[in-house]
Structure 1
Amino acid sequence: MQVALRPVHDSDLPVFFRQLNDPESLRMAAFTPVDPADRQSFDAHWRRLRASADVHARTVLLDGDVVGNAAVYGMPGEREVTYWVDRAYWGRGVATAALRALLSEVPERPLYARAAADNAGSLRVLDHCGFRETARVPQYAPARGEEIEEVVLRLEG
């Protein structure tokens, strides 16, 4: 299994859109767009990300196939990581390998991450990459239509 990152290509976007609209993935991610099926909003979001000098966005490849995306975004001192891996690849170390690769490309610290408190898989990935919990806060989760507990994590230098 070879996990690699590369810049996002236009041809990746339909794959990302399909992944974003998987019901189980949406529920687990929790903090998603209000209407993930809105393709125009999705495309506009990715245009903004790809045009921003403050965003380091990458496509996640597994043995050459597109299986997700990962990014660092935000203001200096408050930058966050985010990642999304196709559900078919959960539990196989892909997200951990992708996040480690992203962290090696973006050496600035601290970095932050957020995850639903019941998203054990994502919390495990973040723990394996050195993130440590700093807070738990109530937050509205659009994918669930309710307020849930969100874990805030920090990665030091």
Structure 2
Amino acid sequence: MTPEVRLRPVMPDDIEVFFRHEQETEAQRRANFAARPHAEFVLHWTQRIVGDPEVGVRTVEVDGTVAGNVVSWWQDGEREVGYWLGSAFWGRGIGTRALRLYLEVETVRPLRATVDSGNLASIALLRRCGFEEGERVQLENGSYVVLRVR
């Protein structure tokens, strides 16, 4: 049975679920991103994401359960998109469905995604959603692939 994936506005209780997702060791490894301490995480989400009208954000729900989030923001003059799902929701097409739904909400094009070059699952997800691989960039914490959808 195919799970029902839907997007909705972020509710305050969702942030605690997002925090638990960010604490997952394998998720941090794949994203090449160190988890923030709880207070810093909550402050970031309440002020810089949910509290910023320039940021687009939706909670991803699967069969009524919070599975993760999709976020878009301006960075270096381009609109960037990112997503984070709890590991219990990986490998089932949920991220692809969620991002496709989000691309109907976020209409700015081109839209960029920057992914750790070793995160092959995320790169494949983006390609399934119409993103095309572009340049590779070296940042202080690793090598990344930039993908864009037009």
TM-score of the two chains, using structure 2 as the length reference: 0.93
Displacement over 3 Å in runs of 4+? none
Please tell me whether residue 134 in structure 1 is matched to residue 134 in structure 2. yes
SS at structure 2 position matched to 1:9:
coil
- Identity among equivalent pairs (%): 40
1:26 aligned partner: 28
Amino acid at match of 2:17: V
1:71 aligned partner: 71
Amino acid at match of 1:150: Y
How far apart, CA to CA, are the structure 2 residues paired with 1:91 and 1:43?
28
SS at structure 2 position matched to 1:8:
coil
- Structure 2, unmatched stretches of 5+, are none
Q: CA deviation at 1:40?
A: 1.1
- Report if aligned partners of 1:77, 1:109 keep a CA contact under 8 Å in 2: no
The change in CA–CA distance for 1:76 and 1:4 in structure 2 (over 3 A counts) is farther
TM-score of the two chains, using structure 1 as the length reference: 0.89
Deviations 1:112-150 (A, max 9, x none): 001111101100110001111110011233xxxxxx210
2:116 aligned partner: 116
- Report if aligned partners of 1:77, 1:111 keep a CA contact under 8 Å in 2: no
SS at structure 1 position matched to 2:53:
coil
- Report if aligned partners of 1:112, 1:152 keep a CA contact under 8 Å in 2: yes
Q: In the comparison of the two structures, how many residue pairs are matched?
A: 147
2:148 aligned partner: 154
Amino acid at match of 2:147: L
Q: CA deviation at 1:77?
A: 5.4
SS at structure 2 position matched to 1:79:
strand
- CA-atom RMSD in angstroms: 1.4
- Structure 1, unmatched stretches of 5+, are 142-147
